[in-house]
Chain A
Amino acid sequence: MKKFAVAALAVASVASLAACGNDSSSEREDGVVRIGLVGPETGAAPQFYTDLVRPVELAVADLADEYGLEVEIVTVDDKGTPDGASAAVQQLLNTEDVDAIFGPPQSGNALQVADVIQRSGRPWLSAALAPEIMDESLDPNWLFRTNYNASDLSSVVAQYLFSGDSTVGIVHSADAYGQSGAESIEAEAEELGAEIAAVEAIQPGTTDFSAGISRLAAAGVDTVFLAITAGADTATVTKAIAQEGLAADRVVTNATILADFATLADPEQWENLVFIDPRDLTGDTVAGIAADYEAEYGEAPIIPTNVYSWMAAVDTYLQAVAEVGDARDFDGVREAMEGLEQVSVRDDVYEKPFGAGDHEIYEPEDPSQWIVFGFDGEGALEARGDLASCIADGC
Chain B
Amino acid sequence: MDAVVSGIVLAGLYALVGQGLVLTFVTTRTLNFASGELLAVGGFLALGVGSWSWLPTPGKLAVVVLVGGALGAVVHRWLVLPFARGEHDSRWLLSTVGISYVLLNLFTNGEGANPQRVELTRNPGTVEVLGVGVNKQSLVIAVIAVVVTLALVAASRWTSGGVIMRAVAEDPRTVALMGISPRLVGAVAYAAATALAALAGVLWASEVGATPGLGVHVLVSAFAVAVIGGLTSFWGPLVGAVVFGVVVQVSAYELGALWGQVAGLALVIVVLVLRPEGLVGRRMEAKL
- Residue B213 is within 8 A (CB to CB) of chain A in the complex: yes
- Expressed in whole angstroms, the Cα–Cα distance for A242 and B135 within the complex equals 10
Interface of chain B residues 239 through 254 with chain A (CB within 8 A) = 249, 252-253
A259 to chain B, nearest CB (A): 7
Q: Which residues of B contact A206 (CB under 8 A)?
A: 217, 257, 261
Asked if A211 meets B115 with Cβ closer than 8 Å, knowing A174-B258, A202-B257, A203-B258, the reply is no
**Among the listed B13, B108, B125, B133, which residue makes an inter-chain contact with A207, where contact means beta carbons less than 8 Å apart?**
B13
Q: Which residue from A215, A242, A302 sits with its C-beta under 8 Å from B126?
A: A242
Q: Which single residue of chain B is at the shortest CB-CB distance from A208?
A: B10
What's the minimum C-beta distance from A378 to chain B, rounded to whole angstroms?
A: 14
Residue interface mask A239-274, B partner, CB < 8 A = 1: 100111100000000000001100110101000000
User: Given the complex, which residues of B lie within 8 Å of A282, measured CB to CB?
Assistant: none
Q: Confirm or deny: B117 has a beta carbon within 8 angstroms of a beta carbon on chain A.
A: yes
Please determine whether A46 and B2 come into contact, CB atoms closer than 8 angstroms. no
B98 CB–A CB distance under 8 Å: no
When the two chains form their complex, are residues A211 and B209 in contact, meaning their CB atoms are under 8 A apart?
no
> Does residue B113 face the partner (Cβ distance < 8 Å to A)?
yes
Find A205's partner among B116, B126, B216 (CB 8 Å cutoff).
B216
Asked if B230 is at the interface of the complex by the 8 Å CB criterion, the answer is: no
Given A203-B261, A212-B252, A263-B209, check contact A239 B113 (CB 8 Å).
Answer: no
A209→B135 CA distance, assembly (Å): 11
- Whether A75 is near chain B, meaning CB under 8 Å from some CB there, is no
Chain B contact surface mostly: helix
- CB pair B257–A264 under 8 Å, yes or no, is no
For chain A, the bracket of interface size reads 35 or more
For residue B134, which residues in chain A have a CB less than 8 angstroms away from its CB?
Answer: 243
| Residues of chain B within 8 A of A22, CB atoms compared | none
Contact A50 B112 (CB under 8 A): yes
**B126 with A212: CB separation less than 8 A:** no
Minimum C-beta distance from A268 to chain B (A): 8
**Closest-CB distance, A206 to chain B (whole angstroms):** 7
> In the complex, what residues of A have CB within 8 A of residue B13's CB?
207
- Identify which of B10, B113, B115, B138 contacts A263 (C-beta below 8 A): B115
The answer to whether A264 and B113 touch across the interface, beta carbons within 8 angstroms, is: no
Q: State whether the Cβ of A25 lies closer than 8 Å to any Cβ in chain B.
A: no
Q: How far is the CB of B75 from chain A (nearest CB, A)?
A: 23
Q: Does B260 contact A (CB under 8 A)?
A: yes
What is the minimal beta-carbon distance from B203 to any residue of chain A, in angstroms?
12
* 14 A-B interface contacts by CB (under 8 A): A46-B108, A200-B258, A205-B213, A205-B216, A207-B10, A207-B204, A211-B253, A235-B208, A243-B133, A245-B133, A259-B114, A264-B209, A266-B125, A268-B125
Besides A50-B112, A210-B6, A245-B133, 9 other A-B contacts (C-beta < 8 A): A43-B113, A50-B114, A206-B257, A211-B257, A212-B252, A212-B256, A214-B3, A215-B256, A232-B209
Q: Which 3 A-B pairs have the closest CB atoms?
A: A211-B252, A212-B257, A46-B113
